[in-house]
Structure 1
């Protein structure tokens, strides 16, 4: 699923008031963390993940790995916070069509 600019802006607005649901620890991206992100996406559809690194390349690799492993869409990355979206079967969030 690809999001257009208007849909991305809508999700950014919804994510603004959210608190991070998953925090990566010193061990980085482990299978347990990926499983927790997957569970949170199933439950909430739109989540924030805190990535504790200042290195842009490392952060980009982690973000790509999370998106690939969970089949989620990266909505945005601000600082150390990643916003992810994945539609669940219940479709809790109604995204504008256009």
Structure 2
């Protein structure tokens, strides 16, 4: 259990994974979808998830260079495992909002 928490821990990683679940996406697109995340924090989180084997970074040999991020098979399986947590959050949103 603690290994999974280490992989997705932090404020942005699960949100980031849900964005990546939609398919390959570029850095700027991710940043626009994750309101409030700084470029530095986003880049850090992407690097950590890439090092964990959760995210794939594809660099295209174009001018200007294009980079896309996507979930690996391991990342997709982790996203499926996290889906019940998202459902729980949605079901309890009002009560949690009152307490947080």
After TM superposition, the score normalised by the length of structure 2 is 0.30
Structure with more strand by fraction: 1
Of structures 1 and 2, the one scoring higher in RCO (CA 8 A, sep 6+) is: 1
* Structure with higher helix content: 2
Report the structure number with the largest CA radius of gyration.
2
